[in-house]
Amino acid sequence: MIGRLNHVAIAVPDLAAAADQYRGTLGAQVGPVLDQPDHGVRVVFIDLPNTKIELLAVMGDASPIQGFLDKNPSGGIHHICYEVVDILAARDRLLASGARVLGGGVPKIGAHGKPVLFLHPKDFTGTLIELEQV
């Protein structure tokens, strides 16, 4: 069911500093800052030859990554995103298997303008999983 690894997301306390580090120190192709008010985050995508890195920073007062950054003040890997062809079929299969799909199982439009869903980390070996329909 899952396809390519679309991205690995890293929560960061300082988006500009993290983007500068990827651009300068690591020599990566760093994209523009994208505000995602519906998701409570501000993101920067880094294009790698085989996948992307998503740097995530808090936006607003009720950001879903605030708790993660409180526990990991220097940042850390927040989620991984797998591609799926049909997100509703994927959701139905996961629900039938007993997995918890966050947000009531209703896909939101993600940073790439495509539908996304998140799966409960306790159901997947401690890893928050994002599914993106491509």
Using CB under 5 A as the criterion, which residues of the chain lie in contact with Co ion when the complex forms? 9, 54, 81, 130
Nearer to Co ion, 24 or 105 (CB): 105
The encoded tokens of residue 102 equal 């966050």
CA distance 96 to 49: 35
Nearer to Co ion, 24 or 76 (CB): 76
54 is annotated as an active-site residue: no
Nearer to Co ion, 1 or 5 (CB): 5
Strands 129-133 and 76-84: parallel
Q: Residue 46 forms beta bridges with which residues? A: 30, 53
CB of 102 to Co ion, least distance (A): 13
CB of 61 to Co ion, least distance (A): 21
- Asked whether the CA dihedral 85, 111, 82, 87 is positive or negative, the reply is negative
Q: Which residues are catalytic?
A: 130
